[in-house]
Amino acid sequence: MRRPLLNIILLTIIGVVAIWLGDRPGDLVLRWPGYELRTSVATGIGVTLVTLFIFLVMWRGYTWLINWPVRFKVMRRKQKKARGEAAMAGSLMSLAEGNVAEASKAALEAQNNLPDHALPLLLAAQAARMDGNHSLAEKKYKALIALPASTNKQNNPKELGYRGLFSMALAEGKKDEAREHLQHTLAASAVKSKPVWALQGLFQIEAGDGNWQEALKLVDQLAARGGIEKPDAKRLRAVLLVAEGQALALQLAENENAEIRAQGLKLVQRAIILVPDFIPALVLASQLASTNNGSNSAHKIVKRIEQLWKKTPHPDLISAYLALQPGKSALQNLKLVQKLTAKNRTHSESRIALANAAIKARRWSMARVALQDEVENPTRRVCRLMADLEIGENEDAGLAREWMDRALTAAPDACWVGPSGEAASWQAVCPETGQIDAFKWGHPGQMMSTASSGTALIG
């Protein structure tokens, strides 16, 4: 809008000046030794303007010729950049299609046209890895590290190189080498800008090696960098605290030590504060506090189990509840189970727990009443309990066998499910995959389909 307006104003001014000159005729006289040149004012102004125009054209032509080499270099640079970017795009497409040979060829062309750029080297390294040429991939990653530092934080060549070397080392099972690459990456980063992927990778290694305290520090750093949401960070801290408590509990199994027991209990209590309904923490706390069943800690855990049973009954809580009150007979245990299951009478876990305790206490009629609503669509546990009941009460081996046969085709019970399937108990780290907190409570088929469609936080 401004430019047309300025043009109109300029034309108006020129028109006004032309009219003003037309109303005032006169002559311009130029005297030079021996010469005199006379012309009208309008002609003189016209000649002056034409002369100025010719001078400007000649000056522009001169500057164009002088700057031609620079412009040629700029043009060549732009052409090389365009060819390099086109080659990178082609390499990416070839990698996506699985055409490693074409991807390598395009990546090499991109390198030739963009020798100081990181992405062509990265594409060449990825193509080499896909082709199984790990030595060439390693060479390309190291070349990335040797490139000068970039101002672009998203594509720092050193970070890209170390990340590639870490990924290769981890895939080959070289944990020490992978840890070394991560430490180089973190050492080269500012305190407040540690790469999230490096923190996650180091967390995976430290937790997988059982270095729980180091893993806890890394969770704090990940939370500060936004690599983990706050609720997930609390959960991870609780898992790591329980994992360390489990390691101490294993030491107690070999050699009782009051100091180690107190240390383990303190760790698990911190986990319960972080995640109050974390069942593995309550189970481990009951084991560590069971020798001091009269202590304040044991009393608090008992109350916590009773509160949790109201909301989410769980079979592991029964053993934890009884472990905190040891030395009881089967009948006394039945009374404890009755007290606990009264918090949530209609839940199937309450009925099954009550029936199990009643069978052990030889209270057959109580067990039958507890299971009467469960036998319509029995799970495997219910079938086994009915078999125990028929043997114990009636000594009817035939009917007991029928119940055991039904157990083979009955619906499965909820259990701990990990990446590899059902597990007898919860574990902090999956032995097969090294994944942290991979075991969830649920029905095997449903949990496995959920796990396959989801993505793990780390690893």
Assign residue 180 the CATH number of its domain.
1.25.40
Are 421 and 348 members of one domain? no
What is the model's pLDDT at position 335?
94
In this predicted model, what pLDDT tens digit does every residue of 26-40 receive, in sequence order? Answer: 676 777 777 777 777
Are 248 and 217 members of one domain? no
Picking from 10-19, 239-248, 308-317, 444-453, which range would have the lowest pLDDT averaged per residue? 444-453
Confidence of residue 155 (pLDDT cuts 50, 70, 90): low
Average of per-residue pLDDT across 292-304: 79
Among 206, 228, 250, residue at a domain's last position:
228
Residue 114 lies in a domain: no
Residue 210 lies in a domain: yes
Picking from 38-42, 127-131, 210-214, which range would have the lowest pLDDT averaged per residue? 38-42
What is the model's pLDDT at position 452?
41
Residue 177 lies in a domain: yes
Residue 252 lies in a domain: yes
Are 248 and 287 members of one domain? yes
How many domains are contained in the chain?
4
Residue 264 lies in a domain: yes
Among 324, 354, 389, residue at a domain's last position:
324
Task: Please give the angle made by the CA atoms of 137, 142 and 148, to the nearest 5 degrees.
Answer: 135
In this predicted model, what pLDDT tens digit does every residue of 403-429 receive, in sequence order? Answer: 999 999 999 999 999 988 888 899 998
In this predicted model, what pLDDT tens digit does every residue of 156-166 receive, in sequence order? Answer: 888 888 888 99
Residue 435 lies in a domain: yes
Residue 20 lies in a domain: no
Q: Is the pLDDT of residue 455 over 60?
A: no
Confidence of residue 81 (pLDDT cuts 50, 70, 90): low
Residues of the chain with pLDDT > 90: what percent?
A: 41
Structural domain of 284: 240-302+312-324
Confidence of residue 188 (pLDDT cuts 50, 70, 90): confident
In this predicted model, what pLDDT tens digit does every residue of 92-126 receive, in sequence order? Answer: 677 666 777 777 777 777 767 767 677 787 788 88
Are 262 and 201 members of one domain? no
Are 172 and 210 members of one domain? yes
Q: Is the pLDDT of residue 447 over 60?
A: no
Among 263, 293, 324, residue at a domain's last position:
324
In this predicted model, what pLDDT tens digit does every residue of 22-73 receive, in sequence order? Answer: 666 667 677 777 777 777 766 777 777 778 778 888 888 877 778 777 777 7
Residue 78 lies in a domain: no
